[in-house]
């Protein structure tokens, strides 16, 4: 499992049994975005936060998040139009060091992109988190990802204003905020040319009805506003890069480039074929449905499956 013998991957099958196989084979055939965590997130004693669930607008399912820092990065990726799947800790990588001892690392976050490539990432709470061990493991995981045309990143915390704005918009990520028929179109028409937020809202109608649709449009990228400054009623809002009902040709989430440019995509089976593999997670209930027999509601139920839910 060193540079000569290659890497191994460990993940859970749909029955919760651990499976180990060559990393190159697993990266080609396994839909990691559909798998449960290969190991649980730790619960630090004495902390006011712990592992929870993030409802993903991309997948319509819950993603396990281990910390507030990871939740913030999930917010960024969930808004990226090039992301098609998300998962928390779905794979453990194994390798041998120079002394022949087996080493392992479980990246915190997995994201699948429209071209079939993927991102493995860790989400430290600050730049020095994990110290030398985390940095060394990250370098090895980056080499493993490079072998299969993927990317590895240490996603450093977002700037506070950007994080706050994304958290606010995430509260309107659910499709129900698209509004009644015709309302989204009216909102987009009102901001066909950049104008202050409150002026466009007033031109459409009742702010109580229009505001959720506006924020949903900002989340989806149908409209655009500067997110590096605090959102307020006079912020300039204009047309975004995406059009409702069409897939975006370019990605773009303000803040960070998670994917990396010029990445080499491995030859992969089609997404439908991958989802038909033996390693697909069984279907889960969405918002207002059930997960593992537990009733869930999105957002605001606060708890689901016995875990704290991150609902933005």
| pLDDT score of 283 | 38
* CA distance linking residue 93 with residue 85, whole number of Å: 20
Encoded tokens for 12: 């859970």
* CA distance linking residue 140 with residue 81, whole number of Å: 29
213 vs 247, higher pLDDT:
213
CA distances from 177 to 126, 197, 218, 262, 300 (A): 34, 17, 11, 35, 15
Which residue bears the tokens 């619960």?
A: 43
Asked if the model's pLDDT at residue 190 lies above 90, the reply is: yes
Average pLDDT over residues 76-88: 97
Residue percentage of the chain with pLDDT more than 70:
77
Average pLDDT over residues 7-11: 97
Asked if the model's pLDDT at residue 307 lies above 70, the reply is: no
Q: How confident is the model at residue 46 (pLDDT cuts 50, 70, 90)?
A: confident
Q: How confident is the model at residue 246 (pLDDT cuts 50, 70, 90)?
A: low
Average pLDDT over residues 59-79: 95
Listed range (91-100, 122-131, 197-206, 228-237) with the worst mean pLDDT? 122-131
Q: How confident is the model at residue 243 (pLDDT cuts 50, 70, 90)?
A: confident
* CA distance linking residue 112 with residue 82, whole number of Å: 8
* CA distance linking residue 229 with residue 183, whole number of Å: 27
Q: How confident is the model at residue 43 (pLDDT cuts 50, 70, 90)?
A: confident
8 vs 130, higher pLDDT:
8
Per-residue model confidence as pLDDT tens digits over 255-298: 344 444 333 333 333 333 333 333 444 333 333 333 222 222 33
Q: Are 134 and 124 in contact (CB under 8 A)?
A: yes
Per-residue model confidence as pLDDT tens digits over 95-146: 999 898 999 999 999 999 999 999 999 999 887 777 788 899 999 999 999 9
| pLDDT score of 309 | 37
Per-residue model confidence as pLDDT tens digits over 87-106: 999 999 999 998 989 999 99
Q: Are 312 and 167 in contact (CB under 8 A)?
A: yes
| pLDDT score of 45 | 80
CA distances from 192 to 144, 196, 199, 239, 252 (A): 45, 12, 13, 6, 20
Domains of the chain, start order: 8-158+257-310 (3.40.1350.10), 160-239 (no CATH)
| pLDDT score of 69 | 92
Per-residue model confidence as pLDDT tens digits over 148-174: 999 999 999 999 999 999 999 999 999
Considering the chain, what is the average pLDDT of its residues?
A: 81
Q: How confident is the model at residue 6 (pLDDT cuts 50, 70, 90)?
A: confident
């Amino acid at each position: 499992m060193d540079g000569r013998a290659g890497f191994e991957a460990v993940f859970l099958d749909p029955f919760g049994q651990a499976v180990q196989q060559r990393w190159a084979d697993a990266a080609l055939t396994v839909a990691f975005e559909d798998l449960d965590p290969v190991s649980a997130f730790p619960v630090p004693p004495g902390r006011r936060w712990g592992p929870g669930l993030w409802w993903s607008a991309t997948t319509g399912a819950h993603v396990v998040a281990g910390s507030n820092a990871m939740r913030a990065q999930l917010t960024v990726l969930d808004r990226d139009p090039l992301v098609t799947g998300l998962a928390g800790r779905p794979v453990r990588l194994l390798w041998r060091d120079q002394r022949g001892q087996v080493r392992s690392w479980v990246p915190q976050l997995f994201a699948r992109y429209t071209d079939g490539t993927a991102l493995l990432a860790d989400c430290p709470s600050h730049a020095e988190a994990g110290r030398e061990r985390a940095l060394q493991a990250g370098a090895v995981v980056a080499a493993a990802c490079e072998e299969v045309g993927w990317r590895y990143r240490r996603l450093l915390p977002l700037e506070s204003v950007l994080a706050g704005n994304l958290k606010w918009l995430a509260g309107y990520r659910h499709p129900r905020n698209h509004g009644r028929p015709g309302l989204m179109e009216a909102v987009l028409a009102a901001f066909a040319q950049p104008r202050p937020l409150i002026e466009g809202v007033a031109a459409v109608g009742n702010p109580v009805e229009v505001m959720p649709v506006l924020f949903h449009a900002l989340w989806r990228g149908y409209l655009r506003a500067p997110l590096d400054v605090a959102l307020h009623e006079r912020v300039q809002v204009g047309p975004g890069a995406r059009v409702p009902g069409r897939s975006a040709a370019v990605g773009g989430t303000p803040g960070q480039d998670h994917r990396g440019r010029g990445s080499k995509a491995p030859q992969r089976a089609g997404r439908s074929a991958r989802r038909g593999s033996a390693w697909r997670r069984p279907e889960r209930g969405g918002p207002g449905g059930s997960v593992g027999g537990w009733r869930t509601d999105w957002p605001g139920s606060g708890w689901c499956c016995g875990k704290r839910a991150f609902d933005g």
